[in-house]
């Protein structure tokens, strides 16, 4: 049981004994004691005043007295300031805790429950390479999956690839027109970038054609429809849907190039999936559900044949679910895919990591599933995250302001290499070891940068300023892990129970923090929020760093003190490593 739970429980029991009234954890608040006061945890008395009809000071005194008398193994002292009962936790309690967990690599993780969760993330389009926004999505999705696993869930990572549609045809057309038969192999360009370049080429040509038509007197909206390259693209989409062999062949070939490129990037950034879904296989799903909905009168067919759902009573709008030609739209596929996931895996919860620009869409999806009475409707959860913006505003591919994922990772690794060389602490590393280290540090900095911010909030990335390696960053945390590793390499730990020590303030601070790790994992899981982990791990590293500078471990005042500090350091290293792992970040033993 956590110290917080023990504290709540003993408080409730004491209140029962003292006042013959039954309280629950929600009836009073427990916080960590502010550093300017004496004590470790504080119970706030004010909320008890009304029901007990006693002053906060009186309750605090009686409660404090009773607690230390009844639970001497937990509490050693108390004091009251205003309505705050500050409790000091017994040193023995901490000592036992440390002895029990200092070498426990599973500390903080929950036993398996029977829940199965699917986390869908990444969702790339096969017409362009991944960019900074995808990175936030990928890191979030992967980390959330990991965190849910640490909370005892069985987790499936999935990915829906948008591999068909008009945007894919655009790069196909452009390649036919301007490609001269070039391939990634012949040009030496990574497949996803190669195809992305043709997508850009399409837009350039399209703009040019529209401009020409307008110059010849056509109205702009009409010109946008009539541009030959656009008409060709639309024709190609129809051919694709009709299964025309040469179009299908081209489509397969170009998507194949993109996947080769994606594989490299995914491997590099540490994304992986248990299940891939392809829109080309799912885009027809959901139609039968629409049919059922029509029969139940949840959907309505308009005169032109299109099918709609009226959500105005729920504060939303009317939403189209089938076009008049009978083809399905995005939301229809999503309903179908949700059904398929449920049928296939019997998942208890389905988490969709999707940007907040699609909040409305996801709301509609959920509402439709609910109205259809689908059993999983309430278990669909949209993990909505804010866009990554530049100081100048949104990233726009048309204006060439998109920060490319591959380029960014390259830069981060280069930066890591430069810093490492400058410091010259790993001169004995082999070429391969150095490469691995640069990757660990560079990617660690990037992941931490994107994960330390609350997912819900949009964030600003300034490409002018490179991502920092000092302060509240991944490398700072990695550095502290390396420092601890270094100390532990040179000083063996004795497993005997360490006794007879009281804690210095920084030692106490560290152990109180370590004890909280399980609750942080739980919070991060409940909130689907990796930033809770990031902030926590940083706080641990920072506290350790102060402790490390202030007190010598190897040359402690006594052998007992040395053992205590070694155990503290060991547990700190384990928690840092474990927490960073939940973020998808590795920690080196040397850097």
Partner RNA sequence: GGUCUGGUAGCUCAGUUGGAUAGAGCAUCAGCCUUCUAAGCUGAGGGUCAUUGGUUCGAAUCCAAUCCAGAUCACCA
- Told to check if 470 binds RNA by CB under 7 A, we report yes
Distance CA 571, CA 565 (A): 10
Task: For residue 520, give both structure tokens.
Answer: 């942080």
**Listed ranges 41-49, 140-148, 177-185, 205-213: which one lies at the site for RNA (CB under 7 A):** 41-49
**Residues numbered 129-158 forming contacts with RNA, rule: CB under 7 A:** none
Using CB under 7 A, pick the residue from 550, 557, 558, 559 that binds RNA. 550
Is the CB of residue 147 less than 8 Å from the CB of residue 530? Answer: yes
Among 302, 370, 414, 497, binds RNA (CB under 7 A): 302
Asked if residue 325 binds RNA (CB under 7 A), the reply is: yes
CB 337 within 8 A of CB 365: no
Q: How far is the CB of 185 from RNA (least distance, A)?
A: 28
| Contact set for RNA, span 46-75 (CB under 7 A) | 46-47
Out of 2, 6, 32, 88, name the contact with RNA by CB under 7 A: 32
Under rule CB under 7 A, residue 338 binds RNA: no
Side-chain half-sphere exposure of 231, counting CA atoms within 13 A: 8
Using CA atoms, how far apart are residues 307 and 304, in angstroms rounded to an integer? 9
b/e 442-465 (16+ beta carbons within 10 angstroms → b): bbbbbbbbbbbbbbeeebebebee
Distance CA 271, CA 264 (A): 10
Place of tokens 């202030």: 550
Q: Which residues contact 221 (CB under 8 A, 6 or more apart)?
A: none
Beta-bridge mates of residue 487: none
Give dist(CA 573, CA 383) in Å, integer: 30
Output the CA torsion sign for 556, 557, 562, 564.
Answer: negative
Q: From CA 443, how far away is CA 193, in angstroms rounded? A: 21
In the bound state with RNA, the residue whose beta carbon lies nearer, of 182 and 389, is 389
The Cβ-side half-sphere exposure at 387, using a 13 Å CA radius, reads 13
Stretch that binds RNA, among 189-197, 225-233, 241-249, 465-473 (CB under 7 A): 465-473
Which one of the spans 129-137, 204-212, 257-265, 416-424 is the region binding RNA (CB under 7 A)? 416-424
The distance of closest approach from Cβ of residue 248 to RNA in the complex, given in angstroms and rounded to an integer, is 18
Nearer Cβ to RNA (215/242): 242
CB closer to RNA, 212 vs 433: 433
- Span near RNA by CB under 7 A; candidates 101-109, 249-257, 300-308, 573-581: 300-308
Q: Judged by CB under 7 A, which stretch of 39-47, 171-179, 370-378, 571-579 contacts RNA?
A: 39-47
Which lies closer to RNA via its Cβ, residue 178 or residue 472?
472
Cα 467 from Cα 463, distance rounded (Å): 8
Q: How far is the CB of 436 from RNA (least distance, A)?
A: 12
Q: Among the candidate windows 61-69, 173-181, 264-272, 451-459, which touches RNA by CB under 7 A?
A: 451-459
Binding residue for RNA, selected from 16, 21, 31, 185, defined by CB under 7 A: 31
Q: Minimum Å distance from CB 188 to RNA?
A: 30
Q: Closest approach of Cβ 249 to RNA, in Å?
A: 22
State the nearest-atom distance from the C-beta of 174 to RNA, in Å: 17
Sole window of 95-103, 151-159, 199-207, 418-426 interacting with RNA (rule: CB under 7 A):
418-426
Tokens of 234: 């639309």
Query: Which tokens hold the place of 276?
Result: 């891939």
Residues 83-102 that bind RNA (CB under 7 A): 83-84, 86
Nearer to RNA, 200 or 329 (CB): 329
**Residue count, binding to RNA (CB under 7 A):** 95
Q: Does 238 bind RNA (CB under 7 A)?
A: no
Q: How far is the CB of 568 from RNA (least distance, A)?
A: 12
Distance, CA of 61 to CA of 55 (rounded, Å): 10
Q: Coil, helix or strand for 107?
A: coil
Q: Where are the beta strands (DSSP E) in 290-415?
A: 299-301, 307-310, 318-322, 349-355, 380-385, 388-389
Place of tokens 């299109």: 306
Query: CA nearest 353: which of 381, 373, 383, 388?
Result: 383
Q: Measured between alpha carbons, how far is residue 496 from residues 283, 287, 554, 561, 579 in Å?
A: 63, 67, 17, 13, 27
H or E element, residue 216: none
Binding map of RNA across residues 483-522, x = CB under 7 A, - = no contact: x-xxx--x--------------------------------
Q: Which is nearer to RNA, 38 or 65 (CB)?
A: 38
Cβ closest to RNA, residue 246 vs residue 304: 304
Check residue 425 for interaction with RNA (CB under 7 A).
yes
Interface with RNA (CB under 7 A), residue from 59, 380, 553, 587:
553
Backbone phi, psi, residue 55, to 5°: -75, 155
Q: Is 358 helix (H, G, I), strand (E, B) or coil?
A: helix
Among 99, 281, 523, 581, binds RNA (CB under 7 A): 523
Minimum distance between the CB of residue 449 and RNA, rounded to whole angstroms?
8
Residues 346-385 that bind RNA (CB under 7 A): 356-361
Q: Decide: helix, strand or coil at residue 319.
A: strand
Which part of the chain contacts RNA (CB under 7 A), choosing from 69-77, 190-198, 261-269, 543-551?
543-551
């Amino acid at each position: 049981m956590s110290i917080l739970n023990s504290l709540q429980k003993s408080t409730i029991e004491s209140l029962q004994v003292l006042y013959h009234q039954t309280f629950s954890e929600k009836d009073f608040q427990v916080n960590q004691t502010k550093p300017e006061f004496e004590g470790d945890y504080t119970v706030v008395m004010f909320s008890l005043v009304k029901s007990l009809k006693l002053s906060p000071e009186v309750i605090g005194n009686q409660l404090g007295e009773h607690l230390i008398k009844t639970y001497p193994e937990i509490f050693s002292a108390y004091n009251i300031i205003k309505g705050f009962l500050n409790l000091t936790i017994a040193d023995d309690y901490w000592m036992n805790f440390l002895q029990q967990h200092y070498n426990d690599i599973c500390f903080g993780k929950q036993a398996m429950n029977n829940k199965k969760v699917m986390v869908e993330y990444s969702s790339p389009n096969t017409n362009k390479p991944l960019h900074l926004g995808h990175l936030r999505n990928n890191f979030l999705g992967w980390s959330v999956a990991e965190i849910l696993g640490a909370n005892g869930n069985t987790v499936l990572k999935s990915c829906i690839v948008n591999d068909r549609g008009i945007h894919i045809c655009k790069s196909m057309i452009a390649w036919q027109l301007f490609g001269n038969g070039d391939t990634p192999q012949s040009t030496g360009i990574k497949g996803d970038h190669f195809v992305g370049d043709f997508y850009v080429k399409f837009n350039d040509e399209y703009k040019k054609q529209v401009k020409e038509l307008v110059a010849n007197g056509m109205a702009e909206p009409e010109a946008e429809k009539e541009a030959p390259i656009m008409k060709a693209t639309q024709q190609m989409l129809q051919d694709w849907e009709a299964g025309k062999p040469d179009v299908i062949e081209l489509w397969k070939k170009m998507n194949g190039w993109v996947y080769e490129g994606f594989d490299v990037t995914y491997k590099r950034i540490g994304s992986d999936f248990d299940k891939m879904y392809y829109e080309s296989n799912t885009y027809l799903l959901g139609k039968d559900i629409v049919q059922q909905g029509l029969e139940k009168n949840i959907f309505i067919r308009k005169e032109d044949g299109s099918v709609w759902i009226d959500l105005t009573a729920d504060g939303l709008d009317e939403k189209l679910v089938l076009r008049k030609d009978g083809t399905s739209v995005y939301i229809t596929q999503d309903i179908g895919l949700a059904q398929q996931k449920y049928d296939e895996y019997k998942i208890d919860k389905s988490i969709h990591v999707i940007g907040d620009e699609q909040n409305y869409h996801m709301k509609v999806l959920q509402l439709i599933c609910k109205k259809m009475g689908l059993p999983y409707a309430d278990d669909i959860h949209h993990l909505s995250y804010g866009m990554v913006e530049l100081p100048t505003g949104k990233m726009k591919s048309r204006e060439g302001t998109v920060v490319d994922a591959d380029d960014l990772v390259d830069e981060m690794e280069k930066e890591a290499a430069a810093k490492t060389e400058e410091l010259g602490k790993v001169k004995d590393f082999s070429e391969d070891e150095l490469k691995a280290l640069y990757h660990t540090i560079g990617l660690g900095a990037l992941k931490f940068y994107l994960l330390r911010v609350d997912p819900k909030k949009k964030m600003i990335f300034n490409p002018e300023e490179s991502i920092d390696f000092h302060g509240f960053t991944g490398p700072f945390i990695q550095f502290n892990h390396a420092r601890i590793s270094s100390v532990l390499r040179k000083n063996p730990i004795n497993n005997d129970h360490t006794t007879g020590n009281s804690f210095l303030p920084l030692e106490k601070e560290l152990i109180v923090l370590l004890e909280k790790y399980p609750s942080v994992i739980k919070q991060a899981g409940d909130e689907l929020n990796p930033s809770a982990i990031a902030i926590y791990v940083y706080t641990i590293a920072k506290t350790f760093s102060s402790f490390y500078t202030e007190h010598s471990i190897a040359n402690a005042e006594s052998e007992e003190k040395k053992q205590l500090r070694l155990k503290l350091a060991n547990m700190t290293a384990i928690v840092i490593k474990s927490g960073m792992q939940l973020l998808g970040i590795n920690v080196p033993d040397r850097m």
